[in-house]
Amino acid sequence: MTDLDRMLHPDEARAIVLAQARPLPTETVPLEEAGGRVLAHALVAAESLPPFRASTMDGFAVVSSDATEQRNILGSGLAGAVPAETVSMGSVARIMTGAPVPDGADAVVPVERTSEADGKVRILLDAVLPGDNIRPVGSDMVAGAEVLPAGTRLTGPYLGLLASLGEASVEVGGRPRVAVFSTGDEVVAPDVEPGPGQIRDANRFTLTYAAGQAGGEVVLSRHVPDDEAALRSAFAEALETADVIVTSGGVSMGDRDLVKALLGDFAEVRFRRVFMKPGKPLNFATAGEKLIFGLPGNPVSCLVSFHMFALPALAVMQGLATVEHETVSVTTTADVQPSDRIEYQRAVIVVAEDGQLTALTTGPQQSSRLQSFVGANGFLVVPPSTETIPGGSVLDAILYAPPFGAKG
């Protein structure tokens, strides 16, 4: 047995992967295209927002201590026109929501608390306090403050923050180009009626989607037969066009497991086996800065190993601040059957009525059963054991979607 065949603890394997993953060069993209990208530098507010005292109401800017019965409307009196004059005792200025409060005024009275006749305004409130209905300068954001840390994935609200601060374009981490190959002579496209011994290709679709979700740009996605020449040319093409190559199948102990057999010819193989279930055979190799994940063919093994190893690597390449999986403690609500390896069982993780997280696995957990993902939002981390783990036990779980509230 060579060292490459040593079965690595998943944490050790992930550390090897992360040590090989390098942030890609950053690029500057227009804000319209920045959604889902990763902020390269911290966003620091160049100005305060609002930059002026802003009204939160449609109404009249007033002097709060003024008790004048009938007050004159300054300026044109048109909505939106900021009067040049200072508001003082006996006068008001018409103001719209969001508009600058004119000098002299220290409060805004909503229009529905006033009555207006013959160009004069009466305030229908017993008392007006200084600051009423005014957003002070910098109440949303103070100039010089860090608004978003570097390494933040840009979602909708964050794009709004960038826009509000006048950032029409933004420097983001590079987007890893990913090539996806499903392999296997027995694997046919979904629109083909499988012949004897054939199965439909699930992995090309699960992996292509997963790579995109992880922030990658899938530049190649195709099925390759178990044929040496075809595989070599697919890898050669992918090494030209992609930063990351993800394959499924061909990495176990069979004669036709050609991915495993060929990888060493053009890449440096870093490990071949991980002490985990599903997904024991997992070939990780590098060619220069390019990463190659030879994932197992069983659809569940394939996706779980993508999640455990390729996902963090893609995060590093984009410059994401958070690379590690979100691990939480959960209480099992039924017995769990462990295996002889660390097992990542698909589970439904919810917040129970007492506020604790509970986990229930999704039925049979064999590595061919993709249905075990249905409804699941995390992996229950089941330590190896020969004994049943009784319901009510506390285990770790890796969340990949939020645990929604208690199920009724």
Q: Which residues bind Mg ion (CB under 5 A)?
A: 184, 249-250, 297
Q: ∠ CA(193), CA(185), CA(265), 5° rounding? A: 155
- Kindly state whether residue 371 participates in binding ligand AMP, applying the rule CB under 6 A: no
242 makes contact, choosing from Mg ion, ligand AMP, none, with CB < 5 to 8 Å by partner type, with none
Give the integer Cα–Cα distance in Å for 117 and 84.
23
The separation between the first and the last C-alpha atoms of the chain, rounded to the nearest angstrom, is 53
Q: Is 47 helix (H, G, I), strand (E, B) or coil?
A: coil
- DSSP 8-state secondary structure symbol assigned to residue 162: H
* Cβ-contact 112, 69 below 8 angstroms: no
- Kindly state whether residue 185 participates in binding ligand AMP, applying the rule CB under 6 A: no
Choice between 296 and 319, CB closer to ligand AMP: 296
- Kindly state whether residue 349 participates in binding ligand AMP, applying the rule CB under 6 A: no
Site map for ligand AMP, 234-253, x if CB under 6 A?
--------------xxxxx-
In whole angstroms, how close is the CB of 261 to ligand AMP at the nearest point? 12
Q: In 10 A of CB 300, how many CB atoms?
A: 24
Q: In 10 A of CB 121, how many CB atoms?
A: 24
Place of tokens 């992880």: 214
The region that residue 139 occupies, defined by phi over 0 for left and psi between -120 and 50 for alpha, beta otherwise, is alpha
307 makes contact, choosing from Mg ion, ligand AMP, none, with CB < 5 to 8 Å by partner type, with none
Which stretch in 15-23, 116-124, 196-204, 283-291 sits in contact with ligand AMP by CB under 6 A? 196-204
299 makes contact, choosing from ligand AMP, Mg ion, none, with CB < 5 to 8 Å by partner type, with ligand AMP
- Kindly state whether residue 55 participates in binding ligand AMP, applying the rule CB under 6 A: no
In whole angstroms, how close is the CB of 195 to Mg ion at the nearest point? 16
Give the integer Cα–Cα distance in Å for 38 and 153.
4
Give the integer Cα–Cα distance in Å for 108 and 367.
65
In whole angstroms, how close is the CB of 255 to Mg ion at the nearest point? 10
* The two structure tokens encoding residue 322: 């958070």
Choice between 59 and 279, CB closer to ligand AMP: 279
- Kindly state whether residue 116 participates in binding ligand AMP, applying the rule CB under 6 A: no
In whole angstroms, how close is the CB of 186 to ligand AMP at the nearest point? 5
Applying CB under 6 A, among 182, 332, 365, 377 the residue interacting with ligand AMP is 182
Which stretch in 54-62, 115-123, 199-207, 260-268 sits in contact with ligand AMP by CB under 6 A? 199-207
Return all residues near 101 (Cβ < 8 A) that are at least 6 apart. 52, 53, 54, 55, 61, 95, 108, 134
202 makes contact, choosing from ligand AMP, Mg ion, none, with CB < 5 to 8 Å by partner type, with ligand AMP
Applying CB under 6 A, among 131, 144, 254, 405 the residue interacting with ligand AMP is 254
In whole angstroms, how close is the CB of 32 to ligand AMP at the nearest point? 36
In whole angstroms, how close is the CB of 227 to ligand AMP at the nearest point? 14
- Kindly state whether residue 208 participates in binding ligand AMP, applying the rule CB under 6 A: no
- Kindly state whether residue 203 participates in binding ligand AMP, applying the rule CB under 6 A: yes
Return all residues near 191 (Cβ < 8 A) that are at least 6 apart. none
Subset of 259-318 contacting ligand AMP (CB under 6 A): 296-299
Give the integer Cα–Cα distance in Å for 309 and 19.
12
In whole angstroms, how close is the CB of 19 to ligand AMP at the nearest point? 26
Place of tokens 């009724």: 408
Q: Is 258 helix (H, G, I), strand (E, B) or coil?
A: helix
Choice between 184 and 319, CB closer to Mg ion: 184
Choice between 152 and 372, CB closer to ligand AMP: 372
Q: ∠ CA(261), CA(266), CA(271), 5° rounding? A: 60
In whole angstroms, how close is the CB of 282 to ligand AMP at the nearest point? 10
Q: ∠ CA(174), CA(176), CA(179), 5° rounding? A: 160
# of chain residues touching ligand AMP (CB under 6 A): 19
CA 283 to chain centre: 26
Q: Is 261 helix (H, G, I), strand (E, B) or coil?
A: helix
Q: At what angle do helices 10-20 and 311-318 cross, to 10 degrees?
A: 30
Q: Which residues bind ligand AMP (CB under 6 A)?
A: 182, 184, 186-187, 199, 201-204, 248-252, 254, 296-299
